Chain A
Amino acid sequence: MAGVTNHELVTLLTARFGGKIIGVNEPYGLLTFETTKDVIIDVLEFLKENAIANFNFLTDITAVHYPGKKHGIAVVYHLHSMVKGVRIRVKVFIDEHHPEIPTATTLWNGANWMERETYDLFGVRFEGHPDLRRILNMDDLGVHPMLKQYPLEDPNRVDKKDEYFGR
């Protein structure tokens, strides 16, 4: 199989985007880097379209919340090159109070539901998404439950106290 090494990919990306490619790392051999939200779609398009890397498959879009950090929401893209048999991970850190990022539905139709899920659970607003509404939770939930600002359980609840269960 004509693969492509992580080193070649980094060279390719920095040649095209220069200082916009930061925090390059390879945990367990999976090439991971950060970029900024103004070039993220260009980066993804470059990874998808260029003949050397050819990351034609969008595996997942999700997010991570780091409460208290300046850019507290990381939007994470996992790409897979079906041609080369290589995977890559792209992270974009955005402001947790205004979590906005351009949509990837312009590149992959499959991004539609992934972005709806990320919006549902983390409140990330994907600008230009054709139908950005909740996908998993009920429409009137009112919160984005995977954000780490909520307690794990309501400390005042009385319906599941140990004494009711003989504990």
Chain B
Amino acid sequence: MSDINIVDAPPGIEGSGFFATSLDKVIGLARSHSLWPLPFATSCCGIEFMATMGSHYDFGRFGSERLSFSPRQADLLMVMGTIAKKMSPVLKQVYLQMAEPRWVMAVGACASSGGIFDTYSVLQGIDEIIPVDVYVPGCPPRPEAILDGFGKIQELVKNESGRRRNSDQYREMLASYGIQ
């Protein structure tokens, strides 16, 4: 007997021998439970992420057992820690190397807003250079907060329209960051 839970099917029309739902929902369901995160850890938030990956908090429960250390195979960029302005071209390059669809999570006060480093050498939030989907507050956030933020990302992934990444609105948003 196994006590493993399986996610519920998306809403759809069911009958004998068939089940009909929209492709977006099926793809979203599959994607959201197998996100490959790329940890971009530069400081103490990265240490909290290590705890999140560890057996006690077990990030793998949410389908993110497999970290991707190549941006080309990653779905989710997790920026954890202070990003100095000198580092920002590197972070942007990593983001550009990720294939669509891609999501970004800013973990902690520094990645979200510069945090206590209100100074000339530190980027005042990574949203100055790349678009961010979810911000996780905290200095550093506890693993529970990181998991909660990841849950928010999963909701975004589940409910994203398959056409969103091709829309003019999305292109304009990227263009506002000087991408494409």
Contact = CB atoms under 8 A, between A and B. Distances in A.
Contacts of A141: 85, 120
Given A153-B118, A160-B118, A137 B124 contact: no
Nearest to B86: A138
A141 B119 CA distance: 13
Determine the main DSSP class of B at the interface with A. Answer: loop
Interface residues of A, number: 9
Contacts of B84: 138
A145 interface: yes
B97 interface: no
Contacts, number: 19
Contact of B124 (A138, A145, A159): A159
Interface in A146-166: 153, 159-160
A123 to B, nearest CB: 15
B121 A137 contact: yes
Interface residues of B, number: 8
A138 B90 CA distance: 12
B124 A136 contact: no
Interface string B140-151: 000000000000
B121 to A, nearest CB: 6
A79 B79 CA distance: 41
Nearest to B114: A160
Contacts of B124: 159
Interface string A3-19: 00000000000000000
Contact of B121 (A145, A159, A160): A145
A136 B118 contact: no
Nearest to A150: B120
A137 B118 contact: no
A59 to B, nearest CB: 24
A143 B121 CA distance: 11
Interface in B114-173: 118, 120-121, 124
A159 B128 CA distance: 13
Nearest to B89: A138
A145 B118 contact: no
Nearest to A159: B124
Residue among A138, A143, A153, A159 facing the most chain B CB atoms (10 A cut-off): A138
Given A137-B85, A138-B121, A141-B120, 12 more contacts: A136-B121, A137-B86, A137-B120, A137-B121, A138-B84, A138-B85, A138-B86, A138-B88, A145-B120, A153-B118, A159-B124, A160-B118
Interface of A: 136-138, 141, 143, 145, 153, 159-160
Interface of B: 84-86, 88, 118, 120-121, 124
Closest 10 CB pairs of A and B: A138-B86, A138-B85, A145-B120, A137-B121, A137-B86, A160-B118, A136-B86, A145-B121, A159-B124, A153-B118
19 contacts: A136-B86, A136-B121, A137-B85, A137-B86, A137-B120, A137-B121, A138-B84, A138-B85, A138-B86, A138-B88, A138-B121, A141-B85, A141-B120, A143-B120, A145-B120, A145-B121, A153-B118, A159-B124, A160-B118
